[in-house]
Amino acid sequence: MQRRKFIKQVGIAASVLGLSPSIAAPKVTERKFKVSLNPGAIGVSCTQLELIECAVRHQFEAISPFPDQLAAMSSNQLNDFLAKMKANRLTWDAASLQVDFRKDHDTFHTGLAGLEKTAKACQAAGVTRMSTWIMPSHNELTYSQNFKQHRDRLKKIADMLYDQGIRLGLEYVGTKRLKTINRYPFAGTMKEMLELIDAIGTPGLGLQLDAYHWYTSTESVADLEALKNEQVITCDLNDARAGRSIEEQVDGERELPGDSGLIDLAGFMGALLKIGYDGAVRAEPFNAKLNAMEKEEALAATSKAMWRTVKLVTA
């Protein structure tokens, strides 16, 4: 039923009952989040410029930034690119953090040395969000040791990004296999990630939500509804593999959102709507069948799945 027709009917029913239609009518929450195209997550290869054309052809509202390509653009090229985005009503999703903070000291500091240039390129392009994932186990570091290393390293990263007007999102990984593949478990739930974020203390630091990890961590809609908009930086949508229990789910083997129906995407999306989330939602299925498709076929399948999911909670 169309929203306008539904509200009209509720108003008539309310008048019959002697109630005010403004009281009886349900509250309609405006959708603030944008449907984004992240090509790498669906096995599609394209340049930053080509990404605009792909997004327009397949009805996406936002696109992923490629910081290296943005940094390589001249001022005129960047201005032309941003004008094209604006003309097509496209906004930015979050960029992917390129600093490897999970390995040894030298690897981390080499990556950190190049972050300022990347951050400035993003700032010049109007990119205000960046995100990364956290490995939920370690072979050598205990939980407390790993917590301290993540707190200290991510603090340096988040502070540098915040100085350039960029907020960082941290993704927790919920699959049992990755939590137990190494000797010592680490933060693999929303609450644990929020504890790490709180310990880091940088303004603007938040979550990269993922429906799959929310599902495999056995979290609830109430957990999502307890968040504030500013705590969510970006969001991945997907579905779990049919025929597997939660414990049997594998991180690199997922489905497009809605394909199996195992994940409560109506509840997940409804919570995003309720908290007024204003970032991007993008597909991250890590699906071999999708990756094997031709480019246009994969884009069309992803767009269909994404809009099908959004319409679970919107008119």
How far apart CA 272 and CA 313 sit, in angstroms, is 10
What does the domain layout of the chain look like in residue ranges? 1-28, 31-310
Mean pLDDT of the chain: 92
Q: CA 154, CA 315: separation in Å to the nearest integer?
A: 40
Reduce the DSSP state of residue 210 to 3 states and report it.
strand
Residue 13 has pLDDT above 50, yes or no: no
278-304: pLDDT as tens digits: 999 999 999 999 999 999 999 999 999
Return the CATH number of the domain spanning residue range 31-310: 3.20.20.150
Strands, DSSP E only, in 152-293? 167-171, 184-185, 206-210, 232-237, 280-283
Amino acid at 176: K
pLDDT digits (tens, 9 = 90+) for 207-264: 999 999 999 999 999 999 999 999 999 999 999 999 999 999 999 999 999 999 999 9
Say how far apart CA 104 and CA 110 lie, in whole Å: 10
Can you count the helices (H) and strands (E) in the chain? 15, 11
pTM: 0.90
Please give the Cα distance from 60 to 63 (Å, whole number): 8
Q: What is the mean pLDDT of residues 260-285?
A: 98
Per-residue confidence (pLDDT) for residue 315, from 0 to 100? 77
